[in-house]
Amino acid sequence: MFSFSKQEKDLKELKSVLLEFYRAKVDKEVAELWESKELNDEKIEEMLHSNKRTPYK
């Protein structure tokens, strides 16, 4: 994806831009879920204490 520039500074900047892009998308989605009441403090607390990991075989 980024083969035209090998400089570490450019790679860090790209990572930062991508991180900000996805952070903004997540913030928007969470705000919409909160406003629609699909997400609330109780559900967040429930998620914090749940174990959703795939069991190892």
Tens digits of per-residue pLDDT, 14-31? 999 999 999 999 999 999
Residue 51, classified by CB atoms within 10 Å of its CB into exposed (0-12), middle (13-18) or buried (19+), is: exposed
Mean pLDDT to the nearest integer, 5-10: 81
DSSP class of residue 57 equals -
DSSP per position, 16-55: HHHHHHHHHHHHHHHHHHHHTTSS-HHHHHHHHT---PPP
- Residues 13/5, Cβ–Cβ less than 8 Å: no
pLDDT > 90: percent of the chain: 65
* pLDDT in the model for residue 1: 56
The domain limits of the chain are: 8-48
Is pTM beyond 0.75 here?
no
Helix (H) or strand (E) holding 4: none
